[in-house]
């Protein structure tokens, strides 16, 4: 199935946080979801500048958040309880994309600016810039590269967020990647490498004092090799191996353990592309993350995943996803002996289901559910995370569209005082040129 298969693998790779090299193929029979589908009658053409297309977008709107601090219900002496607010936001973005027969380069930049009606200390101004490209050697063989920088705030419901913070934690992340793809016969080869650098700002605490986030700053190096075999024109089998090294700037800054670690993951699986109907992949494997500190031990377990896009009709799409990964954390909780201990990492597994439907050519609706578990290794803490969402998009014309969304989050955890529920209602207008 050649390029159809390699294109279909991108969706799962983006969820897993990997960088995969592939040549984009825009074909009439490519399997795409309802929301991804090209709609020339409602698609802004952009502005041409030489051999580049400039595509600016602005999203503006408001949202109501029933629990802006992601706290459990019921006010106590140490917990102010749920607080709601209305937030105004604007998100300008642009892309400058090459329009060449061979090779490709794209520059992107964007911002997310929000103002809270009653809680001004929660206002934020996030931004991101990036560049990515592809060098075509010959048909079925290319190099890819990219670099991105983001300056953002951390969600109040993140596990490493201290519930006693009086302000958000801000972080900066720089990542860069390079990759190579060869897919010219029944055998395919993809090799890529990725670098991430995370820095975190300190945060004020309720009642005074500062939360020192120096212990969270880190670098991550990772590489991946994937070999595929074309079983027939619709199915590929593959073997994949990834490895990573995580190095902390000063994990012991506040008395914690040395968090540097090495990890690897091996997978075997299959990918498919049933032209016009469905595409995706599934795999099983094993993962291991070993920490330099003996007190943190290691995480090792079976891994599995799947990503499926199915179009049962021309108007409906179904997305199914399963992914397991090891995430970084500095959480302090009780261990099996009821003694305070630092978690080494989080073994996170997420299951998701989404449905998209085209009521009319310019009116789309969607709904989604997800369930995730987070096991904080080296402690007894375990979180169950539930989300549900509804959305609608109405295209007014090529330049304007109305959006409405509802999101529900619920964290059920055995960590004292860390469970919460949150409802978010959003409406907005998107302008494209």
To the nearest 10°, the Cα dihedral for 83, 386, 115, 201?
100
Structural domains in the chain plus CATH codes: 2-432 (2.40.160)
d(CA 380, CA 390): 34
Residue 411 and residue 420 in contact, taking contact as beta carbons nearer than 8 Å = yes
- Span between the terminal Cα atoms of the chain, in Å: 36
Instruction: Report the run of H or E that residue 8 belongs to, with start and end.
Output: helix 2-16
Q: Largest alpha-carbon pair distance within the chain?
A: 67
pLDDT for 77 equals 65
d(CA 408, CA 389): 6
The C-alpha angle with vertex 377 and arms to 374 and 382, in degrees rounded to 5, equals: 35
Mean pLDDT by 10 residues, the chain (433 residues): 41 36 45 92 91 96 96 76 95 97 97 97 97 95 98 94 85 98 94 97 86 93 97 94 96 84 98 91 97 93 97 96 96 92 96 98 97 97 98 97 98 92 98 94
The alpha carbon of residue 179 and the mean position of all alpha carbons in its chain are separated, in whole angstroms, by: 20
Half-sphere exposure of 120 (CA within 13 A, CB side): 0
Whether the CA torsion 123, 147, 307, 411 is positive or negative: it is: negative
d(CA 333, CA 383): 12
For 312-315, the CB contacts below 8 A with 24+ separation are 315/34, 315/357, 315/358
Alpha carbon of 431 to those of 46, 107, 401, 402: distances in Å?
A: 12, 19, 7, 9
Structure tokens at 25: 């193929």
Predicted structure pTM score? 0.89
């Amino acid at each position: 199935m050649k390029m159809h298969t390699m294109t279909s693998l991108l969706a799962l790779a983006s969820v897993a946080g990997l960088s995969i090299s592939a040549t984009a193929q825009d074909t009439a029979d490519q399997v795409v979801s309802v929301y991804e589908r090209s709609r020339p009658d409602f698609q802004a053409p952009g502005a041409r500048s030489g051999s580049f297309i400039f595509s600016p977008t602005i999203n503006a709107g408001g949202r109501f958040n029933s629990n802006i601090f992601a706290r459990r219900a019921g006010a106590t002496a140490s917990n102010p309880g749920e607080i709601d607010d209305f937030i105004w936001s604007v998100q300008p973005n642009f892309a400058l994309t090459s329009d060449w027969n061979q090779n490709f380069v794209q520059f992107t930049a964007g911002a997310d600016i929000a103002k809270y009606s009653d809680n001004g200390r929660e206002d934020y101004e996030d931004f991101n810039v990036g560049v990515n490209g592809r060098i075509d050697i010959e048909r079925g063989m290319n190099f890819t590269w990219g670099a991105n920088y983001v300056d953002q705030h951390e969600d109040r419901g993140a596990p490493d967020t201290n519930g006693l913070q009086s302000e958000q934690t801000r972080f900066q992340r720089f990542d860069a990647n390079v990759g190579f793809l060869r897919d010219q016969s029944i055998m395919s080869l993809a090799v890529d490498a990725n670098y991430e650098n995370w820095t975190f700002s300190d945060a004020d605490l309720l009642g005074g004092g500062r939360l020192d986030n120096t212990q969270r700053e880190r670098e991550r190096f990772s590489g991946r090799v994937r070999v595929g075999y074309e079983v027939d024109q619709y199915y590929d089998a593959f073997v994949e191996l990834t490895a990573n090294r995580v190095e902390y700037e000063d994990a012991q800054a506040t008395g914690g353990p040395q968090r540097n670690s090495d990890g690897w993951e091996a997978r075997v699986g299959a990918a498919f592309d049933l032209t016009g109907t469905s595409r995706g992949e599934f795999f099983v494997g094993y993962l291991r993350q070993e920490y330099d500190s003996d007190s943190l031990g290691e995480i090792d377990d079976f891994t599995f995943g799947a990503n499926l896009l199915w179009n049962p009709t021309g108007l409906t799409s179904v997305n199914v996803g399963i992914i397991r990964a090891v995430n970084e954390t500095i959480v302090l909780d009780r261990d099996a002996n009821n003694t305070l201990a630092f978690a080494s990492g989080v073994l996170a597994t997420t299951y998701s289901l989404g449905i998209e439907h085209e009521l009319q050519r310019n009116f789309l609706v969607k709904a989604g559910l997800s369930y995730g578990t987070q096991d904080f290794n080296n402690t007894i803490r375990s979180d169950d995370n539930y989300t549900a969402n509804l959305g609608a998009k109405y295209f007014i014309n090529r330049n304007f569209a109305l959006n409405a969304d509802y999101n529900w989050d619920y964290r059920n955890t055995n960590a004292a005082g860390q469970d919460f529920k949150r409802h978010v209602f959003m409406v907005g207008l998107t302008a494209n040129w």
